Amino acid sequence: MAIIITDNDVRKHLTMAECIEAMDVCFGDFAEGKAKTLPRLRYRVDAPDDPGREYFANVHVGAVPSYGMACVRAGSNMLVKGGAPGRKTMSSPDSTNWTVIILYDLNNAEPVAFMHESHLSGVRVGATTGVAVDKVARDDVSVLGLFGTGRQARANCEAICTARPSIKTVKVYSPTPENREAFPSHVQLEGVEIIPVDNSDEVVVGADIVCSMTNSTSPTFDGSLLVPGQMVISVANSDVTLKRHEVDETTFTRATDIVINDWESVVSNRQTELLDLIENGTVDRDCVVELGMLCTGEATVKQTHDNIVYYKNNTGLGMQFAAAGAVIYNKMKNDDTNRVVPPEWLAAEEYA
C-alpha cells in the first residue's frame, strides 16, 4: 500500500546530512549511467478566470537504482502576472501547494508513497549544494556570504555549514530589511554567528563562499568585487518560461571552473545565461564540469586561494526526489500510524 508522506514527516525523518549523502549517491550514479533523470519540463497557461494570474507546471521524473526508487514530481502552482519587478511571484489564494511527488518501487512498479514537496524541495536543492561544497570548497573556509532569506536560502545555508563545519560566520542580505533581520531566528546553527548586513557589497567582501539563493531575475551582486580564493554558488537559471540572471557575466568570465548539475538541462531548458557566453567564446565549454563527475572522481575541481570557482546549481532533477524520498520512505514504511492509499484505488487492469 502507498503511504502519505507530509512535510512534517520529511522534517522528522530526513536530516540535511542524510540528504547530502543521498544526493552524492544519486549524482554519482547518474554520472556512471545507472541513475536516470530527464530535464525538467515547465510550461505556463493563462488562468481562464483570472487575467492577473497564470498556471505554472514544473514536472520532474527520475530513478535511482541504488535506492530502488523512481519518482514523478508533478509541480502545480499559480504565478502572479506583472508582480514585483525582477521577481518571480508565486500565488495561491490560500497559500496551498498542490504539487505531489509519487514514489515508485523499481522492483515491481507499484506506487509506494504520495509525498508533499514543499519542505523537501528546498532541502534537496540545499543538499546538492552541500555535495558541491564538500567536493570543491577549501577545508579552511570560515565566512559565508548569503543573498536571500527564503526557503532556499535557509536550506542552502544549513547545507553549506553542514558540509563545512569550519564556517563560523554567515553574512546575510535581503533588500527587505525585516527579512534579513529575522533570518537568524529561522536558521539555528550551533557555533555559527549570523549577521544581517545593510548592502549587497558587504556580503561579497571578505566571504570565502558567496551564495545567492533568491527569486531575483537580475544579478544580486557585482562580479568585479570577487577576489581569488572565493567560491560562488547560485540557483536561479534562465529557461523556456523565464529569463533570470542571478549572477552577472563578470562572475562567469572570472571563474576558472564552472560546476553544474546537468548539461542536458542547460541545452534543453535553453539556459541562455551560460549558453550565450559559450557560443560567443567568452566561456570555454571545457571549463564546465558536471557535479556527478566530481562524485565519481572522474573530474576534480578545487577552490584554492588563487582561483574563483563557480557552482551553478542549474536545475532540479527527478532523481533527487527519488533518492531523498527513498530515505524517508524506508524509515516510515513499517509505521502502523501511516495513512495509506489502498492498492485497489490505484491498480488498473492490464491493457487488453
Residue 45 per-residue DSSP state: E
Q: What is the pLDDT of residue 331?
A: 98
Task: Indicate the CATH number of 126-312 among 3.40.50.720, 3.40.50.20, 3.30.2350.10, 2.40.110.10.
Answer: 3.40.50.720
**H helix and E strand count, the chain:** 11, 17
Q: Where are the domains of the chain?
A: 2-120+317-345, 126-312
Q: Phi and psi (nearest 5°) for 252?
A: -60, -45
Q: Determine the 3-state secondary structure of 56 from DSSP.
A: strand
64 is written with which cell numbers?
A: 535511482
- 206: nearest Cα among 191, 222, 193, 225: 225
Contacts 24+ apart (CB under 8 A), 263-266: 263/288, 263/290, 264/39, 265/39, 265/40, 265/314, 265/315, 265/317, 266/314, 266/315
Q: Which of 263, 253, 259, 254 is nearest to 233 (CA)?
A: 259
CATH topology of domain 2-120+317-345: ornithine cyclodeaminase, domain 1 (3.30.1780)
* pLDDT at residue 245, as a whole number: 84
What is the amino acid identity at position 60? H
**Grid cell locating 256:** 576558472
Per-10-residue mean pLDDT, the chain, length 352:
96 98 98 95 93 93 98 93 56 71 97 96 96 98 97 97 98 97 94 96 98 92 98 83 83 97 93 94 97 98 98 95 98 96 87 58
The pLDDT of residue 352 is 54
C-alpha cell at 51: 487575467
Residue 77 to residue 94: CA distance in whole angstroms: 12
70 and 104 Cβ atoms separated by less than 8 Å? yes
Q: Which pTM does this prediction carry? A: 0.92
Q: In the Cβ-directed half-sphere of 169, how many Cα atoms lie within 13 Å?
A: 15
pLDDT the model gives residue 87: 45
Q: Please name the helix (run of DSSP H) or strand (run of DSSP E) that holds residue 121, with its range, or none.
A: helix 118-136
